[in-house]
């Protein structure tokens, strides 16, 4: 009997495949990226904030005092940002981030202490989206913060509420259609999600910089998302896998005015040149797997 093909995808991989299959192939099949020095500063600062906030909310769940947990969070950011293997942000940029994280924790302190019952921090998950005799499609992810929200007074309460931290330098529209957000709700079996926005602007006041934006998803919306995702994976992703062909999508080369990190490769003539550049100018990144701490039994 032949073994079933396991396809494991998370929202980041899905987004990348939908953006450009060739880009997905470079990053997730060949595991090639530009060296850290080229990493977008916004992404780097976002990762540092996540690490610090993970410490903060873990300690909140353990009942540690505000002073201790905020100090531990800032220390984590300082430690990572001073390691050139972990971060390429300048000290001034890190200072702005540290201040923003500290102010955000302070701004939400009362709500966090009185309303949040921490269930999990940076919790990986995986569930089976589709399965037949040949293939099993597993969707994975990692939720920044999962908590029960205990509403006080006239505020409603929510169980198993996913909370996603997002740093931002420029205000932008929050899209409900985000694969990441719907995936979190599908995994947590929640119809609600909160985006915890942390502004890095120096000129805005706290109300403008630190917003917790709620999004709601009814069960039909989530079921439609799953159907659409299943069809995309079966019809498009598996075709690429079966043919070992990952087409380029030139309309995505300069998306949001940011040049794709593989442009130099795609903009070359001939497979030999492309392979040479890939070997010379790119490094081998660790395999992207947000579920590596999960056991097979934990896949729902
Ligand atoms: S440069 Fe364009 S075609 Fe090439 S991987 Fe990037 S988005 Fe795709």
Band the pLDDT of 103: cuts 50, 70, 90: very high
At residue 294, the pLDDT reads: 57
Ligand 1 neighbourhood includes 22 CB (under 6 angstroms): yes
At residue 173, the pLDDT reads: 86
Using the predicted structure, report yes or no on whether residue 98 has a pLDDT greater than 60.
Answer: yes
At residue 199, the pLDDT reads: 95
CA of 263 to the centre of ligand 1 (A): 6
| Domain count within the chain | 2
Asked whether residue 93 falls in the same domain as residue 81, the answer is yes
Asked whether residue 13 falls in the same domain as residue 42, the answer is no
- Give the model confidence (pLDDT) of 12-64 as tens digits: 999 999 999 999 999 999 999 998 766 677 678 999 999 999 999 999 999 99
Angle subtended by helix axes 66-81 and 41-61, to nearest 10 = 150
Asked whether residue 14 falls in the same domain as residue 74, the answer is no
Ligand 1 neighbourhood includes 249 CB (under 6 angstroms): yes
Using the predicted structure, report yes or no on whether residue 280 has a pLDDT greater than 60.
Answer: yes
Q: Which of 83, 76, 122, 66 has the alpha carbon at shortest distance from 98?
A: 76
- Give the model confidence (pLDDT) of 201-244 as tens digits: 988 999 999 999 999 999 999 999 999 999 999 999 999 999 99
Ligand 1 neighbourhood includes 250 CB (under 6 angstroms): yes
At residue 13, the pLDDT reads: 97
- Residue from 253, 255, 268 whose mutation best tests the ligand 1 pocket (most atoms within 8 A of CB): 253
Strand 158-168 to 192-199 pairing: parallel
Using the predicted structure, report yes or no on whether residue 267 has a pLDDT greater than 80.
Answer: yes
Asked whether residue 57 falls in the same domain as residue 102, the answer is yes
- 96: domain range? 34-107
Would you give the DSSP letter of residue 190?
-
- DSSP states along 159-211: EEEEEEEEEESS--PPPTT-HHHHHHHHHHT-SEEEEEEEE--SSS-HHHHEE
User: Which of 88, 107, 126 is the last residue in one of the domains?
Assistant: 107
197 located within any domain: no
- Mean pLDDT over 51-78 rounds to 97
- Mean pLDDT over 96-125 rounds to 96
User: Which of 63, 87, 107 is the last residue in one of the domains?
Assistant: 107
Ligand 1 neighbourhood includes 32 CB (under 6 angstroms): no
Ligand 1 neighbourhood includes 48 CB (under 6 angstroms): no
Asked whether residue 26 falls in the same domain as residue 80, the answer is no
Strand 210-216 to 192-199 pairing: antiparallel
214 located within any domain: no
Asked whether residue 55 falls in the same domain as residue 20, the answer is no
User: Which of 72, 107, 142 is the last residue in one of the domains?
Assistant: 107
Band the pLDDT of 293: cuts 50, 70, 90: low
Ligand 1 neighbourhood includes 248 CB (under 6 angstroms): yes
At residue 283, the pLDDT reads: 92
The dihedral built from the CA positions of residue 273, 40, 283 and 29, taken in this order, carries a sign that is negative
CA of 18 to the centre of ligand 1 (A): 12
CA of 39 to the centre of ligand 1 (A): 17
Strand 32-33 to 5-10 pairing: unpaired
Asked whether residue 79 falls in the same domain as residue 19, the answer is no
Asked whether residue 17 falls in the same domain as residue 58, the answer is no
- Give the model confidence (pLDDT) of 144-200 as tens digits: 999 999 988 778 899 999 999 999 988 788 999 999 999 999 999 999 999 999 999
154 located within any domain: no
Ligand 1 neighbourhood includes 267 CB (under 6 angstroms): no
- Which residue is it, tokens 């040149």? 273
161 located within any domain: no
- Mean pLDDT over 1-18 rounds to 90
- Cβ atoms within 10 Å of 134's Cβ, excluding its own: 10
Angle subtended by helix axes 11-19 and 179-188, to nearest 10 = 150
| CA-nearest residue, atom 2 of ligand 1 | 253
**Rounded to two decimals, what is the model's pTM?**
0.91
254 located within any domain: yes
């Amino acid at each position: 009997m032949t073994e079933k093909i396991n396809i494991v995808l998370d929202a980041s991989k899905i987004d990348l495949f939908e953006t450009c299959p060739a880009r997905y192939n470079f990053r997730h099949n060949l595991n090639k990226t530009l060296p850290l020095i080229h990493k977008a500063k916004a992404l780097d600062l976002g990762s540092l904030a996540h690490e610090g906030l993970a410490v903060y909310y873990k300690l909140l769940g353990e009942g540690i005092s505000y002073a201790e947990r905020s100090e531990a969070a800032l220390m984590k950011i300082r430690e990572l940002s001073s390691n050139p293997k972990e971060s390429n942000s300048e000290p001034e940029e890190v200072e702005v981030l540290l201040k923003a994280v500290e102010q955000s924790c302070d701004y939400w302190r009362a709500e966090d202490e009185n309303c949040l019952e921490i269930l999990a921090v940076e919790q990986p998950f995986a569930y089976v989206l589709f399965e037949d005799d040949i293939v099993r499609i597993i969707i994975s992810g990692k939720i920044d913060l999962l908590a029960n929200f205990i509403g006080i007074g006239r505020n409603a309460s929510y169980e198993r509420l996913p909370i996603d931290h997002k740093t931002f330098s420029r205000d932008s529209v929050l899209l409900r259609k985000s694969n990441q957000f719907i995936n979190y709700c599908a995994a947590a079996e929640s119809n609600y999600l909160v985006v915890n926005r942390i502004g890095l602007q120096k000129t805005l006041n706290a109300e403008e910089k630190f917003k917790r934006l709620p999004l709601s998803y009814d069960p039909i919306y989530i079921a439609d998302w799953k159907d659409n995702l299943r069809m995309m994976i079966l019809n498009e992703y598996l075709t690429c896998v079966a043919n070992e062909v990952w087409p380029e999508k030139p309309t995505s080369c300069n998306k949001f005015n940011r040049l794709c990190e593989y442009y130099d490769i795609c903009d070359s003539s001939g497979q030999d040149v492309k392979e040479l550049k890939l070997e010379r100018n790119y490094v081998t990144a660790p395999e992207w797997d947000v579920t590596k701490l999960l056991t097979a039994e934990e896949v729902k």
